[in-house]
A and B are shown apart, each in its own frame.
Chain A
Amino acid sequence: MDNIKFNNSPKIKAKILKVIKSPYILVVPAFLFYLIFWAYPVLTAIYEVFTKVSTEGGGFTLNNIVALVNEVHFSEALVNSLVFAIVSIILQFILALLLALLINRKFKGSNLFLFFMMLPMAIPIASVGIIWNTGLTEFGWINSLLEVTGLQNILELVGLADGPIIWTTVSGMKAVMFLILVDTWTVLPSVMIIILAGLQNLNKEYQEVAMVFGATKRQTITDIVIPIIKPTIITALLLRIISGIQIWLLSVMIFGFNKVPFLVERIVYYTKFYYSDESADKLAFTYSVLVIIIVMTMAVLFLQANKKSERSMNNG
């Protein structure tokens, strides 16, 4: 029946076919999805930041931003998040590059080694939290390891420890540094593997040519290897720094809420611990928008720096 109908009205058929065959039909679902589930909540969050609570009539206000700045843990959370993101990415990048350069060759058991190295990156953060939570108690596995290996004696000898160290009472910047180490354990392999992948795609001849022309090993690495694998590295680092800004779960699972504050930790805290408290919601929204701004700024800066250096490299 339908076919006959179409045959009778070729114009309609052509029109329908045109719509179905239009390549834009493939774009529409994505467009609608992001409009509803991404743009809408983003705009709501921004709207919430600049409006008063409903009991005050809801008009435009900047008070939420003032409240954010005055929040007890605001400056600490901001500093902690930035320090965490920046220090961890520098540490991870340097270590990963060194490791990748070192093991960028086939050796007996290299596959097995890579397998072991990759294990931590496969672990969900909730499990990472449990691993370190069981490790950091007074009689946990970290102190056990120190004891068994005799490191505990050395620490006590130099006066760094007096009996088993109680790790969970570490606070402030020390705690942030500690979280950086835990984070490095988790993600170093993934950064290393991305760099390794870049190295293995690298044409060996470039390196050989450089060596023939008398470049030292170090020069070859800084002038040939790094620029070539740079696009890969930039993407990897960008994603790392962005997830670094969003750290909170590790901190909460190891130290608990309010102990080592981070920006996202504040969002979760004000959402989960204050039910139907509108001013707490406002704080959560304001923190959310701040996180969005920081992440997006970092992304833009990073990409622009990358573009610029590419351009200067091409010109030079």
Chain B
Amino acid sequence: MGENNIQINKTKKAIKSTIFYMFIVFVAFAFIIPLIYLTTTSFSSLIEVSDYPRQMFPSFSHNVEFSYDETYERYVLARENNKGEYVILNFGDEKNLSKYLEKNFNVFLEEDELLEIMLPAKETGEPIKVKLYKNIIANYIKFFETFDGVGEAFVNSVRAAIYTIILSLGIGGGLGYALAKTDIKGKQAIGVGALIVRMFPTIAISVSAAVMLIKFGMFDSMYGLAVIYAIPNIGLTAWITKGIFMNVNKELEEASLVFGATKIKTFYKITFPLVLPAFAASSMYAFITAWNDTAVALLLTTNNKTLSLVLYEAIGGVNSIHYAAAGSILLILPAAFFTFYLRKYINQLWG
């Protein structure tokens, strides 16, 4: 009896944990499917983007068939689609086809290389099947070539982020220290103020900020953007650093002072290392604010675009969505890196 019960319990447990894992896998999959498709699109050629149904995982090559058309004296190109059928796509000489392959297949072949592949079809009269390998990062290169000023936009995004970090840490860090370690008056008012600006909808002052920035000569510049991005982040930095400064062990600092260290030395050797994580977290928040924003940049710049603004404008493009997908991946990478790094601090931040 007892043994039977144990057996049943074991089976129950196994079933439970199997269901649990199935659920976990399902949830994880549901969350990453859109990203898988984006990644695949960023490696796809134009012809693959127009396939239906789309392939879920990226391919590295195309299966094609070349044949020779005697009557018109030209080569015929057919591609194996995702149903396994060869579909005729184009015809012409090696010059036309080389260009066509580059644009639609992401296959880069010189005319003579291509001719070498196709020539047997003409000589034997038999169609030949070959596997043409794609240039896998073609879309990433094309992204820079197709859209105007992507390189500058990339630099602009980095600059706006750095200025935002400097402003947030410089002003917010000082405020946080003052709130935690000194006996200034009106701490409560400052605290409420920091909360208000933290939640303030910056997009809603962007229209009047544009007028103001024009007056200051900061419109259409990264300084102007950084100033607006800093509005919530100074408050946030003050809030984060205040908490950490308050937790810095007073006794440790006092001990250091007792042992003859100067105040400045105590700050550098004791306080600073302890508060470093808070500053790291604050600067990552500042970075993410600046890097991820499109709305404010749209209203406050005209020629000096940021990377995310370029992507926003890329969306209407005909036959360039796979380049835009590559650009999206480039935009995601730094943001993802910082977000994951930030995860370590989330406990401290929200707890």
CB distance from A136 to the nearest CB of B (A): 11
Choose the segment among B66-74, B88-96, B173-181 that binds chain A (4+ C-beta atoms closer than 8 Å): B173-181
B332 pairs with A123, CB closer than 8 A = yes
Q: How far is the CA of A295 from the CA of B197 in the complex (A)?
A: 11
B207–A281 contact, CB under 8 A?
Answer: yes
**A133 within 8 Å of B by Cβ?**
yes
Task: Tell me the minimal C-beta distance from B316 to chain A in angstroms.
Answer: 9
Whether B200 is near chain A, meaning CB under 8 Å from some CB there, is: yes
B291 lies within 8 A of chain A by Cβ: yes
The verdict on A130 contacting chain B, using a C-beta distance below 8 Å, is: yes
Whether B24 pairs with A201 at a CB distance below 8 angstroms is: no
The answer, among B53, B331, B350, for a CB contact under 8 Å with A126, is B331
Q: What residue in chain A is nearest B231 (Cβ atoms)?
A: A38
0/1 interface trace, chain B 90-129, chain A, CB 8 Å (1 if under): 0000000000000000000000000000000000000000
For B238, give its contact among A30, A99, A119, A140 (CB under 8 Å).
A30
Interface size class of A (residues with CB under 8 A): 35 or more
Q: Mark B199-231, 1 if CB is under 8 A from A, else 0.
A: 111011111111110000000000000011011
Please pick, from B204, B206, B331, the residue contacting A295 in the complex, using a CB distance under 8 A.
B204
Question: Mask for A117-147, Cβ within 8 A of B = 1, else 0?
Answer: 1111111111101111111000111011101
Spot the interface stretch: A57-65, A214-222, A236-244, A306-314. A236-244
Interface stretch of the complex, out of A2-10, A72-80, A284-292: A284-292
Instruction: Report which of A30, A189, A253 forms a contact with B315, defined as CB distance below 8 A.
Output: A253
User: Are the CB atoms of A124 and B291 closer together than 8 Å?
Assistant: yes
Q: Give Cα distance in the complex from A48 to B230, angstroms.
A: 24
Contact of A126 with B203 in the complex, beta carbons under 8 Å: no
- CB pairs A–B below 8 angstroms (24 shown): A24-B178, A29-B175, A34-B193, A41-B211, A107-B20, A107-B24, A109-B24, A113-B24, A113-B28, A117-B31, A118-B339, A118-B343, A120-B34, A123-B335, A126-B308, A130-B327, A145-B37, A147-B53, A189-B31, A236-B350, A264-B203, A268-B295, A295-B199, A296-B199
B residues with CB within 8 A of A: 20-21, 23-24, 27-28, 31-35, 37-38, 41, 50, 52-54, 56, 167, 170-172, 174-175, 177-178, 182-184, 190, 193, 195-197, 199-201, 203-212, 227-228, 230-231, 234, 238, 291-292, 294-295, 298-299, 308-309, 311-312, 314-315, 321, 324-325, 327-329, 331-332, 335-336, 338-340, 343, 346-347, 350-351
